[in-house]
């Protein structure tokens, strides 16, 4: 089973990203479960989206405590407590302009991605979720870029072309980084 936790601040689109990622994995033939947890949902408070994907129906109804991958929408939320929700060696994609070497985190594979810069370049303002999704899919190795793009096309409320461009740019950027590292 693949387990993922996405963390963002209310209004940033973490919940939407979780739903879009789940739909793309579902469209590729996997069973999925994705649920958001929040307190009194207010703009700016932390919102987490938990996602499971598997080749068989998912029965587990508990929190994800050993995720295979974490996606962090806001660098200020990248603390110990969040990192502990990932298993040892978990992929952590974080929305940040810093370099991977700037993060001193043991036993986690940190991949920074400057989602804000990509969003700006693609006329998306501060809306980073399509960029982060593209980058995250590249780092994770699934779902395929085209699966993510198909979901964005169906679900983006506006600026579909810009969302797609941001997603593709981020995907290429992260895929390129990983190739260099390999």
Partner 1 sequence: MNRMLNDDLQLLNGNHAVAWGVRLAGPDVAPVYPITPQTPILEKLIAFQAEGKFDCDLLTPESEHSAMAAAVAASATGARVFTATSSQGLMLMHELLHYASGARMPIVMFNVNRTPAAPWGFWPDQTDSLSQRDTGWVQLYSEHPQESLDTVVQAFRIAEACELPVMVNHDAFYVSHAVEPVSVPEAKAVRDFLPRRERSLWLDTGIGRSIGAPAGQEAWHASRREMDAAMARVEDLTREAGRLWGEATGRAYDVLEAYRMEGAQLAFVTMGSMAGTAREAVDALREAGLAAGMVRLRLFRPLPAAALRAALADIPVALVLDRNFSPGMGGIVHQELAAALYGHDGPRLYGFLAGVGGINVPVERLVALAREYRDAAPTHAPIWLE
3-22 footprint of partner 1 as x/- string (CB under 8 A)? ----------------x--x
Binding-site residue total for partner 1 (CB under 8 A)? 27
- The answer to whether 157 contacts partner 1 (rule: CB under 8 A) is no
The one among 44, 45, 65, 105 contacting partner 1 by CB under 8 A:
65
Q: Over the Cα atoms of the chain, what is R_g?
A: 15
- The answer to whether 32 contacts partner 1 (rule: CB under 8 A) is yes
Find, among 94, 91, 99, 103, the residue nearest to 142 by Cα: 91
Axis crossing angle, helix 145-155 with helix 160-181, rounded to the nearest 10: 160
Rounded to whole angstroms, how far apart are CA atoms 147 and 99?
28
| Tokens 């703009």 belong to residue | 43
The one among 58, 117, 172, 175 contacting partner 1 by CB under 8 A:
58
Instruction: Report phi then psi at 55, rounded to 5.
Output: -85, -10
State which of positions 33-52 bind partner 1 (CB under 8 A).
Answer: 33-41
Rounded to the nearest whole angstrom, what is the least distance from the CB of residue 108 to partner 1 in the complex?
Answer: 21
- The answer to whether 89 contacts partner 1 (rule: CB under 8 A) is no
The one among 44, 60, 76, 161 contacting partner 1 by CB under 8 A:
60
Rounded to whole angstroms, how far apart are CA atoms 163 and 152?
7
Rounded to the nearest whole angstrom, what is the least distance from the CB of residue 143 to partner 1 in the complex?
Answer: 12
Q: CB–CB of 42/10 below 8 Å? A: yes
Rounded to the nearest whole angstrom, what is the least distance from the CB of residue 50 to partner 1 in the complex?
Answer: 9
Rounded to whole angstroms, how far apart are CA atoms 48 and 182?
31
Q: CB–CB of 71/112 below 8 Å? A: no
The one among 43, 59, 106, 181 contacting partner 1 by CB under 8 A:
59
Residues at the interface with partner 1 (CB under 8 A): 19, 22-23, 26, 28-41, 55, 57-63, 65
């Amino acid at each position: 089973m693949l387990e993922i936790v996405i963390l963002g601040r209310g209004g940033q689109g973490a919940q939407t990203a979780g739903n879009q990622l789940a739909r793309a994995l579902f469209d590729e033939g996997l069973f999925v479960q994705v649920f958001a947890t929040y307190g009194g949902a207010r703009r700016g408070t932390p919102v987490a989206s938990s996602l499971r994907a598997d080749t068989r129906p998912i029965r587990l109804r508990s929190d994800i405590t050993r995720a295979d991958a974490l996606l962090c929408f806001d660098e200020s939320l990248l603390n110990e407590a969040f990192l502990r929700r990932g298993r040892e060696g978990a992929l952590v994609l974080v929305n940040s302009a810093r370099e991977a070497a700037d993060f001193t985190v043991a036993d986690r594979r940190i991949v920074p991605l400057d989602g804000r810069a990509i969003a700006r370049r693609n006329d998306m303002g501060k809306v980073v979720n399509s960029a982060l999704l593209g980058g995250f899919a590249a780092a994770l190795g699934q779902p395929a870029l085209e699966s993510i793009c198909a979901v964005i096309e169906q679900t983006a409320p506006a600026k579909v072309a810009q969302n797609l461009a941001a997603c593709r740019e981020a995907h290429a950027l992260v895929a390129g980084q990983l190739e260099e590292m390999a």
